[in-house]
Structure 1
Amino acid sequence: MELSTLWFLLIAGLFVGYFVLEGFDFGVGMLVPVLGRDDRERRVVINTIGPLWDGNEVWLITAGGAMFAAFPEWYATLFSGFYLPLLLILLALILRGVAFDFRGKRPEAAWRRRWDWCIVFGSAVPAFVWGLVFANVVRGIPLNAGHDHVGSVLDLLNPYALLGGATMVALFLTHGAIFIALKTSGDIRQRANRLAGRAGLGAAALAVLFLGLTLAHRGGTAAVTLSVLAALCLVGGLVANRMRSRTEPDGRREGWAFAGTAAAIALAVASLFAGLHPFVLPSTVEPAVNSLTVLNAASSAYTLKIMSWVAVVFAPIVVLYQGWTYWVFRKRIGTQNIPE
């Protein structure tokens, strides 16, 4: 396997990890005022991701850095062509991080409600815009012979991309609701399970429609296989959630449900990359000439070789450290853990 193809797969894996992990904490953020009926319950919902959310964002930083080093022309064209959407994601993530910290600085209910809605905004907007961006990447954007984006921002707001954004929001909402059910106890857990079942039906419908349109446009045996598996995993997760019983206090069914939605998101994102290959950014203007591919967008072989050795050394350390973090904060929490 060529190093350029290997790094395309590694970057795809980083984005898969980012969307699976950041997906549930985006979903949790969107559900703070929905599942939290008073301040203590909202604090419980926030605390389910309190030790985790900033670590999950490391996957995005690493993916961006890897793209910059391994495929500099892909990075340059993507970040210039999608400048405003990606800036909106950045601003929303900044607002979200500030809101997590500032909501507890004052005791007034109105103060905390405002920051809670900032958390909702900072979670829903990146989820939607990421879906919009990835849908446009798979669909293709107008590039000239110099691989510069020659379209407008309004071109990005096409029906297929808007469907991609809505699908991402619905999947993350379901993923987050199941994570809350897995991490909490009492009334919040029961409400999260009920919401996950309802949200999951909408997510499944949107996901099937979006992946179906993607396959009709891009095709590819690998993409078809991964899309089918994604749909099956999502359905399996919803079935496991519906079969949850009060006689299972350890949350075994919720664990299977979370694994199902995590696998569905992972396979859905993987199917987008599978349908994209060998392109990294297809052009809608003279595709055979103007498109960026794994080969013509890659760095030199020497650069990719050095990057590969760095990844072999440091990637396992990062994964093990984050896995240890999840293990340490694995227990359920409830209002009994939150002081007045």
Structure 2
Amino acid sequence: MELPTLWFLLIAVLFTGYFILEGFDFGVGILLPLLGRDDRERRVLINTIGPVWDGNEVWLITAAGALFAAFPGWYASLFSGLYLPMLLVLVALIFRGVAFEYRHKRPEARWKARWDTAIVLGSLLPAAVWGIVLGNLLRGVPLNAAHDYTGGLLDLLNPYALLGGATTTALFVTHGAVFLALKTSGEIRVRAGRLAARTAPATAGAAGAFLATGLAIRNTPAAVGLAAAAAVALVGMLAATRVRREGWAFAGTAAAIGLTVTTVFAALFPTVLPSTADPAGTLTVDNAASSPYTLTVLTWVAVFFAPVVLAYQGWTYWVFRKRIGVANIPD
């Protein structure tokens, strides 16, 4: 396998991992005022993701860094064309992180309510914007022959991209509800399982429409196979949430998210950013990649450090694997 192809696959894996892991803590943040009926219950919800949410964001940092180093042309055109959405995501993630740290600094209810709002908005905005990004990535954006973005904000808010935003938001909400049913005890667990069962049909419908429309725009044999696997995962998610099999339901939502993201990347390859304005502006794994020397160095770095990072994050999830409930939260 050539190094540009290898790094395309690695970047796809990094973004897939990010969407799966960050997806459930985005969902928890969105559901904070819905499932947490008082401050103590909201603290339970926050504590389910407290040990892992910042580690989940490392996947995004690593993916963006790998994209910059391995495909500077792709990075430049993508992040300049989607500058405003990416800025909104960055600001939302900053406020969300600050809210987790500052919420407990003062006891007043109004103080906590303001930071709870920051958590909700800081989770909802990225959840929607990432779907818009995926939609535009598959559909293509207006690039000239020099690979410069020539469109405006409204070009990014096309119907397919908005469908992508609705899809990722729905997937993350259901993923978060299933995670809470798996991670909590007592009444919160019951409410989360009930909510997951209610949102799962709409989530499956949105994801199915997004995948079907995406394959009509652009497809490869690998993308068709992955989309079929995603459909199976969505059906499994529906069945598992209905019978309240929380472990299987979480596996189903994780698989549905992962297969949806990988379908987008598989449909793109060997293109990395299609141009809807000038075919000469389309970026591929070949014309967007760094030099062979740079890719070789990156490969050796990944070989040595990626297993360490994965082992550490896996250990973190194992240590904090037990359920928590209101009884575990002091007054």
Q: TM-score, normalised by structure 2?
A: 0.99
Worse overlay, 277-286 or 87-96: 277-286
CA positional deviation for 1:87: 0.2
- Cα shift readout 1:192-214 (whole Å, capped 9, x = no counterpart): 00000111111101001111000
Matches of 2:60 and 2:277, distance apart in 1: 29
Aligned to 2:250: 258
State whether structure 2 residue 288 is matched by structure 1 residue 291: no
What is the letter of the counterpart of residue 183 of structure 2?
K
CA positional deviation for 1:295: 0.3
Aligned to 1:137: 137
Aligned to 1:234: 234
Matches of 2:55 and 2:31, distance apart in 1: 20
Aligned to 2:163: 163
Aligned to 2:222: 222
What is the letter of the counterpart of residue 8 of structure 1?
F
State whether structure 2 residue 108 is matched by structure 1 residue 108: yes
CA positional deviation for 1:237: 1.9
Aligned to 1:300: 291
Matches of 1:130 and 1:156, distance apart in 2: 12
Matches of 1:73 and 1:223, distance apart in 2: 24
Matches of 1:334 and 1:142, distance apart in 2: 50
Give the secondary-structure state (helix, strand or coil) at the position aligned to 2:275.
Answer: coil
Q: Could you tell me whether the CA contact under 8 Å between 2:181 and 2:189 is conserved in 1?
A: yes
Matches of 1:119 and 1:3, distance apart in 2: 40
State whether structure 2 residue 320 is matched by structure 1 residue 319: no
Alignment of 1:129-208 (within 5 A): 129-208=129-208
Aligned to 1:81: 81
- Cα shift readout 1:228-262 (whole Å, capped 9, x = no counterpart): 11121122122112223xxxxxxxx2111101110
Give the secondary-structure state (helix, strand or coil) at the position aligned to 2:49.
Answer: coil
Matches of 1:286 and 1:65, distance apart in 2: 28
CA positional deviation for 1:171: 0.2
Give the secondary-structure state (helix, strand or coil) at the position aligned to 1:57.
Answer: helix
Matches of 2:234 and 2:186, distance apart in 1: 25
Give the secondary-structure state (helix, strand or coil) at the position aligned to 1:145.
Answer: coil
Aligned to 1:4: 4
Q: Could you tell me whether the CA contact under 8 Å between 2:227 and 2:259 is conserved in 1?
A: yes
State whether structure 2 residue 90 is matched by structure 1 residue 99: no
Matches of 1:193 and 1:299, distance apart in 2: 47
Identify the match of residue 332 of structure 1 among 313, 318, 323: 323
CA positional deviation for 1:290: 1.4
What is the letter of the counterpart of residue 268 of structure 1?
T
What is the letter of the counterpart of residue 238 of structure 1?
L
What is the letter of the counterpart of residue 214 of structure 2?
T
State whether structure 2 residue 90 is matched by structure 1 residue 90: yes
Number of equivalent positions: 331
Matches of 2:140 and 2:197, distance apart in 1: 34
Matches of 2:238 and 2:329, distance apart in 1: 30
Give the secondary-structure state (helix, strand or coil) at the position aligned to 2:272.
Answer: strand
Aligned to 1:248: none
- Cα shift readout 1:26-73 (whole Å, capped 9, x = no counterpart): 000000110000000000001000000000000000000000000001
What is the letter of the counterpart of residue 72 of structure 1?
P
Aligned to 2:268: 276
CA positional deviation for 1:286: 2.7
Matches of 2:234 and 2:114, distance apart in 1: 33
Aligned to 1:71: 71
What is the letter of the counterpart of residue 207 of structure 2?
A
Give the secondary-structure state (helix, strand or coil) at the position aligned to 1:16.
Answer: helix
Identical aligned residues as a percent = 69
Give the secondary-structure state (helix, strand or coil) at the position aligned to 1:193.
Answer: helix
CA positional deviation for 1:160: 0.6
Gaps of 5+ in 1: 245-252
Worse overlay, 293-302 or 109-118: 109-118
- Cα shift readout 1:142-162 (whole Å, capped 9, x = no counterpart): 111110000011110111100
Alignment of 1:55-70 (within 5 A): 55-70=55-70
Gaps of 5+ in 2: none
Matches of 1:200 and 1:100, distance apart in 2: 28
Matches of 1:191 and 1:205, distance apart in 2: 22
Matches of 1:286 and 1:75, distance apart in 2: 19
Aligned to 2:40: 40
